[in-house]
Structure formats: C-alpha cells, structure tokens
Structure 1
Amino acid sequence: MERAGRFTLIAAIAVAVAAAAVLWSQRDDGGSRTPDVIPGEGTTVVVEVLNATTADGLAREVARRLRRAGIDVVGYGSARDASLDSTTIVVRRGDSTAARQVRQALGLGRIAVDYNPRLLLDASVLIGPDLARALGFHP
C-alpha cells in the first residue's frame, strides 16, 4: 500500500505542476507581453528595383542606397520597358506609405498604383532618366 501511496502523491504533484504551467502561460501581465510577430509582416518595406534606362549599374546603385535607408531590396535588374520618362514607384500591395518612404529615400519619383500581391512586394521601383542624371549616370 505504501507504494500505491507514493504513486498517488507523485501523480498529484505532476498534475499540480502541469496546471500551474498552464495557468502561468495564460496569465494577464497588464499588456507588457510583446505581440506575436508574423514573419514578413511589420514595418519593413520590401521592394524590387528595375532599371528602365540604358545606364549600366544603375539598379545596383539604387538598391544600395535604398538598403542604406533601411528598405529591404529583394531583387534588382533591368526593366522590360526602357521608355519611362521619369522614375516611378509602383505600389504592389497596401497603401502608398511604402512608396512614400522609397520616394523620400531617393529624393524623387512619382507614385503609381498597380496592385499585384502575388509579387510579395510593397513596391516596384522603376528607375527613369531623371534619377540616373541625379546620381551621375548617363541614361
């Protein structure tokens, strides 16, 4: 009987510890707990940079400048259409907040909206000859 009593005591302690753990994890600590963060969400602006001029190395230079400004550039390269008259920041999802941050980092650019959430970008930066000249590139 002594063995059964020890087993019952150990089982009771285990249940009490488990219950305390559950209660501890669900306690309300006055809102000081940080909210769970969903990967890919938050204040980081995610863009691609596409050179719509004939100036070599321009997309790479713009990508560097944007990264220094805290903008996440996930890719850069050449645009299919090289006939833009000015730099355009195209909103791909959300509102124009991200595009305004990009424009502030570059110092110029017009904002357009062409939603495409499949791209997983906040904006596409299409570099025109105005930005090329401002950065000392020959468009």
Structure 2
Amino acid sequence: MIKNKRFRKWYSVHFPYKYAKKMEDEINNDFLEVKNSNATREEIYEAKYERDFNLREIFDTLNEHYSDEIILKAKKYGCPVPHRYNSDGSIHEAWEESAWGTLYLSDESRYDLKMRIREEEKWKRERISFFSSLIFGLLGLLVGVLSQI
C-alpha cells in the first residue's frame, strides 16, 4: 500500500485503474490472511463482508471516474449525453446508481456514447485530412507555376 497520503491521492487520480488493481490485490490479501488464520466463522464472515464492501466501493468509484471521462469527451465533441433523471424524477435507464447514491453511466449507454465520440473524431480527422490535402495540392500547383516562370 502507498504510505504517503498526498502521493496516494495523486496516484489514485492520475492512474485510477492501476491504483484500483493495487487496492483490490491488497484487499484480497487481507481477506486471505484472515481466512487462512485460525479465525472463527463470524470473523471470516465479517472479513468477507468488509472485502465485498471495499471491492464494491472501488468498482463504483472506477465507474464514476470512467463515466465522467466519457461525458467530458462527449461534451467536447458535442455529442448528446443522456439526462440523469426522467421528467417524473426517476433515474433514466442510461444511468445506474451506486451503493452510495451517485450515478454513473450503464455499460450500454457508455458503449453508445463511445461510438458517437468515435464517429465525431473520425469526421474531424477526415475534415482535417481533406483540407490539408487541398492546401498542399494548391501549394504544389503554386510551386509548379512559379518554377515555369
């Protein structure tokens, strides 16, 4: 485990998936230590509950982080993001609620949003390549004309 709190926070923000994997391994190792020791059935059950709770927290945090990244990218390209709530106040089917009440995109809606973002990125690349080839073609024409003079 990373001992320095400031570095741990920086690491968890900039490398969330590596940090989550490291934390998951640590949580599982702690559970295995309790399970392999001479612990009572209640202690093992309590350790299993704590492990499941901590793993769920990591899973929800990663989903929230990933959803936020995709939403920011979608807004950058102007892709429509589904609303969090319906008009009657219920949660939209594109969103899921974590155990702590925060919302993150469901797997299907994340996939759809990623596909829209890819289409926008492809369109942007095609537009840039069209204009750059046009500009370089005109420059080549200009150099050819000037060399004939």
Question: TM-score range with shorter-chain normalisation?
Answer: under 0.3
TM-score by length of 2: 0.23
Larger helix share, 1 or 2: 2
Q: Which one has more relative contact order, counting CA pairs under 8 Å at least 6 apart?
A: 1
Larger strand share, 1 or 2: 1
